Structure 1
């Protein structure tokens, strides 16, 4: 049996998420089907997916978009009592959380593809559960520098 490489897994995940997004855009229904939920459970593992849905259901997830561009950042607060604020690029599989660092970046053979924060950000976009704020360039750049400081 051939091992699934991170590249192949990434491609499969993108195809599934894009298919779900396309179906929801072209449908009056705005929720996942049972089959889609099962597919996401297999791809992301049930415990991580459940945490992502908890974030979507309990937090305000903000999409900061730079006016007149496609630039976007996603932001939401972590669970109490940590009050960590997560800022993510919506289509990049990276997060500053401890889980991502320990279970994905440092693990010799990661058991997970990503963390609940990255999944929540992507699914919130797909399910249209974002608060959208359009920002002028200087304000957007200020927030962006908080994620990726530039030299």
Structure 2
């Protein structure tokens, strides 16, 4: 029974996060957000998702680039690739899923043995650099980073678009779900 408030909070978390984004989106549509508005937005996100996740997401926005892939003749379908050097993550906008270790371990809570067959299931595993509070999360810095990038409209230097033939797009799309 002790976990009851936590379970209730977790079931509303996606809606609360969406509400925070929607509130800022409405304000951005009307006028340029003030420093206070932006501060309140990041404070609200930090309260719900944790300061560390929000901080790491903001750091990600500084160093990652975004490529939006669209299928030729079907531009309503999109895959976004976040990348820095040779490291990349492919995401679907508005879908809370990522193949990164953090998402698999701390969002999906997949067992260590399933994720890392080389590590005995009895051995504790934790990702380096993440604090105790972050070990159970609603999302990862890549998914949150994509949402922030779309909301804040980062400079064109960090974002580009590519139109692909259907077969090429399908290959990129399917790669999101491959192990």
| Bucket of the pairwise TM-score, normalised by the shorter protein | 0.7 to 0.9
Q: Which runs of 5+ in 1 are unaligned?
A: none
Q: Does 1:90 align with 2:90?
A: no
Q: Distance in 2 between matches of 1:141 and 1:64?
A: 10
Matching residue of 2:161: 133
Q: Does 1:27 align with 2:23?
A: no
SS at match of 1:48: helix
SS at match of 1:23: helix
Q: Distance in 1 between matches of 2:60 and 2:34?
A: 18
Q: Does 1:16 align with 2:47?
A: no
SS at match of 2:79: strand
Q: Does 1:101 align with 2:101?
A: no
Offset at residue 29 of structure 1 (A): 4.1
Offset at residue 15 of structure 1 (A): 1.2
Q: Deviations over 1:111-146 (max 9, x none)?
A: 311111111011111111262414144232232122
Matching residue within 42, 47, 54 for 2:47: 42
Q: Does 1:70 align with 2:70?
A: no
Offset at residue 69 of structure 1 (A): 3.1
In terms of mean alpha carbon deviation, does 58-67 or 48-57 score higher?
58-67
- TM-score norm. by structure 1 comes to 0.81
Aligned residues: 145
In terms of mean alpha carbon deviation, does 22-31 or 9-18 score higher?
22-31
Q: Which runs of 5+ in 2 are unaligned?
A: 112-134
Matching residue of 1:147: 176
- TM-score norm. by structure 2 comes to 0.69
Structure 1 contact 24–30 (Cα < 8 Å) conserved: no
Mark the CA change 1:71 to 1:51 in structure 2 (over 3 Å): closer, same or farther: same
Matching residue within 50, 58, 83 for 1:53: 58
Q: Distance in 2 between matches of 1:107 and 1:5?
A: 21
